[in-house]
Each structure stands twice: as structure tokens, then as C-alpha cells.
């Protein structure tokens, strides 16, 4: 057993908020549980994620994967998770109390993954990690330096891009910035 396994077991038995009542699976994330330069943080699991127990495996995940592939950001360079680990009913936005209940799990993921770059996918992640009053349309695409340790890039959630094609160009540009920053931090990486 290792610490990550202990974390997964504890998270899987969590009942700190009402979201646990209807979950099929706790969705920890997707990727290898080791340090990686980028941590992507979304809102919460959708229906497919709840069924499969993996983050971003539905339509939004397919778009995210396409963009990561297009930007040549390799799977070993990132881990993907959500602010809340259980699916909110009817895919509603998680409440502040639900987000707060899950924050210790997300903090543990930060400590295990040790990212240099955090990408907030959508307003729920941005509100949880930057400021509760932020507007994603105002801050997306701008780097936010958290105490000189972590750079945060807020951008649209892939599901929002699927619903509104006018967001595609900005979403793409944000990922170009992420790739450029990754290359700056790790010269010699393609």
C-alpha cells in the first residue's frame, strides 16, 4: 500500500456531503498518480465519468484529449481531476458546501502531483482555486501566479466549448499558452 492508495480508499468512502448518496463511483481523476507539470481541474463528474469512474471520458473529455494531442502535451505531463469527486444530480453546478467538502481531496492531489501549472477548466474550478467572485469570461487566458509556486491558467470548460462554438478559438489559444509555458519550464521537451 502507498499513500495514493490510502487516499483513493479514503476518498471512495467519503460521505462529507450529499453527493455520495447517488454516486456510482467516486471519480478521483485520470492519469498516472505521480508528479506531473500540469494539473487540469474541472468541475465534477458527468454521467459517463460516474459510470466509468474516470475523469473526462465523455464528450468534453474527448475534446480535451484532442486538444492535448494537437498541442503535443503528453499524458506523462499532466493529471486530470475535478473539484468535486462525485456527480452532482442532473449535472448541476456543485454548491459551495459540496466544493468545500471535497477541497481536502483536491489539496492532497496537489501535494501528490506537485504541478507547476494548474489549468482551471471552467468557472467552478476557477472559483474554487482563485476567488469565489471571479468571472471566467474576464480572467480566462491570463496567467495567475500563486505565491511564485504555481501558475494558474483559467479557461473554458470543454463542455462549454462544445455548447458554444464561439469559444473554440479562445480555448485553443489558451492551450497554446499552456504548451508554450510547459516548453519554457522544461527546455528540450517537444
Measured in degrees and rounded to the nearest 5, phi and psi for residue 40 equal: -95, 130
Look at residue 17 and tell me whether its pLDDT is greater than 70. Answer: yes
The pLDDT of residue 58: 92
The pLDDT of residue 188: 58
Residue with cell 499552456: 178
Look at residue 62 and tell me whether its pLDDT is greater than 60. Answer: yes
The pLDDT of residue 37: 96
Q: Is residue 80 part of a domain?
A: yes
- Residue 162 CB coordination number (10 Å): 16
Q: Is residue 190 part of a domain?
A: no
Short-list 1, 82, 77, CA closest to 32: 77
The pLDDT of residue 16: 96
pLDDT tens per residue across span 22-32: 999 999 999 98
Q: Is residue 174 part of a domain?
A: yes
Q: How far apart are CA 60 and CA 161, in angstroms?
A: 8
Q: Is residue 69 part of a domain?
A: yes
Q: Is residue 189 part of a domain?
A: no
Look at residue 1 and tell me whether its pLDDT is greater than 90. Answer: no
pLDDT tens per residue across span 64-92: 999 999 999 999 999 999 999 999 999 89
The pLDDT of residue 190: 52
Q: Is residue 61 part of a domain?
A: yes
Look at residue 49 and tell me whether its pLDDT is greater than 90. Answer: yes
Look at residue 186 and tell me whether its pLDDT is greater than 80. Answer: no
Contacts of residue 47, defined as CB under 8 A and 6 or more positions apart, other chains included, come to: 58, 87, 91
pTM for the predicted model, two decimal places? 0.95
Short-list 80, 36, 77, 40, CA closest to 57: 80
Give me the CATH number covering residue 8: 3.40.470.10
Count of domains forming the chain: 1
Q: How far apart are CA 134 and CA 145, in angstroms?
A: 15
Amino acid at each position: 500500500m502507498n499513500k495514493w492508495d490510502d487516499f483513493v480508499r479514503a476518498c471512495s468512502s467519503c460521505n462529507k456531503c450529499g453527493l455520495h448518496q447517488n454516486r456510482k463511483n467516486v471519480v478521483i481523476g485520470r492519469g498516472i498518480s505521480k508528479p506531473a507539470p500540469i494539473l487540469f481541474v474541472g468541475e465534477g463528474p458527468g454521467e459517463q465519468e460516474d459510470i466509468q469512474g474516470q475523469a473526462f471520458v465523455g464528450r468534453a473529455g474527448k475534446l480535451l484529449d484532442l486538444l492535448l494531442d494537437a498541442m503535443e502535451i503528453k499524458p506523462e505531463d499532466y493529471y486530470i481531476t475535478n473539484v468535486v469527486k462525485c456527480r452532482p444530480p442532473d449535472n448541476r453546478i456543485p454548491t459551495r458546501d459540496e466544493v468545500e467538502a471535497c477541497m481536502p481531496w483536491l489539496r492532497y492531489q496537489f501535494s501528490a502531483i506537485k504541478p507547476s501549472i494548474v489549468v482551471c477548466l471552467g468557472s467552478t474550478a476557477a472559483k474554487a482555486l482563485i476567488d469565489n467572485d471571479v468571472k471566467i469570461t474576464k480572467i480566462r487566458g491570463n496567467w495567475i501566479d500563486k505565491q511564485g509556486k504555481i501558475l494558474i491558467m483559467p479557461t473554458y470548460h470543454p463542455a462549454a466549448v462544445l455548447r458554444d462554438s464561439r469559444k473554440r478559438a479562445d480555448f485553443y489559444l489558451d492551450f497554446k499558452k499552456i504548451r508554450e509555458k510547459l516548453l519554457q519550464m522544461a527546455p528540450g521537451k517537444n
